[in-house]
Structure 1
Amino acid sequence: MGLTVELAYDCQEELRPLFQEYTDMLVRESPSVADYLKIQHYDAELHDLESKYGLPDGRLYLARVDGAAAGCAALRRLDETRCELKRMYVRPQYRGQKVSTALLDRLLADAREIGYQKMLLDTLPFLTTAITMYRRRGFQDIPGYNDSPLPETIYLELEL
């Protein structure tokens, strides 16, 4: 298996379907996520990914397995010391092949290189495999840090 992780600024046409699959999955599992996506201005984000995840303070990655788009993840600046992991998604046929681990490893290295001290994320309880991965990597539960209207949201943080 040839697994690669690459900056995705020049391949957004391959990336957008992954973002859409990710949000479709979230809405299927938890319909109230649709309201949260409106608060986040997701439609605008999808058409201008670089403004939210652009260099030098953010990152946007595409993972490939044998050349095929397999997953994505992004990093965005919250403030001078904190960043947020966003839009981590791996297509079902590539799960269990360390794609999410490769994406997370890359983003953690980038966050440290940029100079962030903490990485935050929010997730939902049904994403059990992702939550297990985050906790194994040292992410700890924290109080809410954003305007999520979803009471079931889980908030995690990692000291970098």
Structure 2
Amino acid sequence: MRAFHIRPARDTQDMASARRLFRDYQGYLNVDLCFQGFETELNTLPGDYAPPVGELLLAWETEDRGEGLFLAGGVAVRPLYQKAATEPVLVPGACEMKRLYVYPQYHGQGIGGRLAHQIIACARQLGYQRMVLDTLERLDEAVALYQRFGFQECAPYYDNPIPGVIYMELDLTAV
């Protein structure tokens, strides 16, 4: 029997695991994320995902006997910034869910839902009132998951050159 637990990423090993997960996520998407400053993000983890303004959660599998610890997935939240003339400007009360990814061998076990639930709870605890995200329309399961949590399509909140992007938002003040 497999058991999973989710915990915040805090130490150097966790950041190395998150870095590997995010690279694997990019490979899974098969898109170039350089327009998002992806390499800088990886090299400066936890960056904007660090408390008290963000969070980075990792899901781990443990075996029955308590032996071994295997990375199953992860997700992050950070403050939302909008592009301005000279530098990005913080959007008060708004955050962005980033990098929700579960390795394919763990699909269908509810890990994505647990990660989404916990990162939404973290965002509320951090005092955010609105959460946004972007995903690809071809990721049917991800879109359905976000809709189950109450996310709705919204206007683009940044320029994303990848075809088939869907922008979504969630009112974190709604019960």
TM-score normalised by structure 1 residue count: 0.91
The answer for the alignment partner of 2:29 in structure 1 is 26
Task: State the 1:80 CA deviation.
Answer: 2.3
**Cα deviation digits, residues 108-137 of structure 1 (max 9, x gap):** 111111111111000001111010010011
Task: State the 1:151 CA deviation.
Answer: 4.0
> Structure 1 residue runs of 4+, over 2 Å off?
none
Query: Partner letter of residue 44 of structure 1?
Result: T
The answer for the alignment partner of 1:57 in structure 2 is 53
Task: Pick the structure with more strand per residue.
Answer: 2
Counterpart CA distance in 2 for 1:152 and 1:127 is 10
Of structures 1 and 2, the one with the larger relative CO (CA 8 A, separation 6+) is 1
Which of these residues, 124, 128, 135, is aligned with residue 136 of structure 2?
124
Give the unaligned 5+ runs of structure 2: 63-68, 81-90
1:25-44 alignment runs, 5 A limit: 25-27=28-30, 33-34=31-32, 37-44=33-40
The answer for the alignment partner of 1:30 in structure 2 is none
State the identity as a percent. Answer: 41
Matched, 1:6 2:7: yes
Query: Partner letter of residue 70 of structure 1?
Result: A
Counterpart CA distance in 1 for 2:111 and 2:8 is 15
RMSD of aligned residue pairs (Cα, Å): 1.1
Task: State the 1:52 CA deviation.
Answer: 2.3
Query: Partner letter of residue 170 of structure 2?
Result: L
Counterpart CA distance in 1 for 2:72 and 2:150 is 25
The answer for the alignment partner of 2:19 in structure 1 is 16
Largest Rg, 1 or 2: 2
Secondary structure in 2 matching 1:81: strand
Counterpart CA distance in 1 for 2:10 and 2:143 is 27
The answer for the alignment partner of 1:74 in structure 2 is 76
Matched, 1:98 2:110: yes
Task: State the 1:48 CA deviation.
Answer: 1.0
Aligned residues: 153
Which of these residues, 148, 155, 158, is aligned with residue 160 of structure 2?
148
The answer for the alignment partner of 2:84 in structure 1 is none
Give the unaligned 5+ runs of structure 1: 28-32
Counterpart CA distance in 2 for 1:80 and 1:63 is 29
Query: Partner letter of residue 78 of structure 2?
Result: R
